Amino acid sequence: QSFCEKQTRMEVNRIFSAEQIEVHPELPGMLKEYTKAVIRENPKDLLAFSAEYFRKKADIPGEPVPGSQESNNKPEGSS
């Protein structure tokens, strides 16, 4: 896409008032639980903590996100 096309699309999607914003019904509760977890854990790396928090919430299998407290708490010799 050209710059002009992107600029036009941005102008169409511009929000001018709070009434134009539609909030997903699950978002306030999700943000409240996330905020509590951040306050409770006080992570050193907020982005890694956040990625791991939402990975687990979404039931996405896999290794803990590097830098998250989960990855720092893995037992020696496990990978």
- Supply the pTM of this predicted model: 0.65
What the block records as the tokens of 4 is 């002009």
Output the CA torsion 67→26→19→15 (10° steps): 30
Give residue 15's pLDDT.
Answer: 76
Q: What is the pLDDT of residue 20?
A: 84
pLDDT, position 79:
44
64: left (phi over 0), alpha (psi -120 to 50) or beta: beta
Cα Rg of the chain (Å, integer): 19
Q: Each residue's pLDDT tens digit in the chain (79 positions)? A: 666 665 565 566 777 888 888 899 999 999 999 999 999 999 999 999 999 999 999 999 999 989 887 777 655 454 4
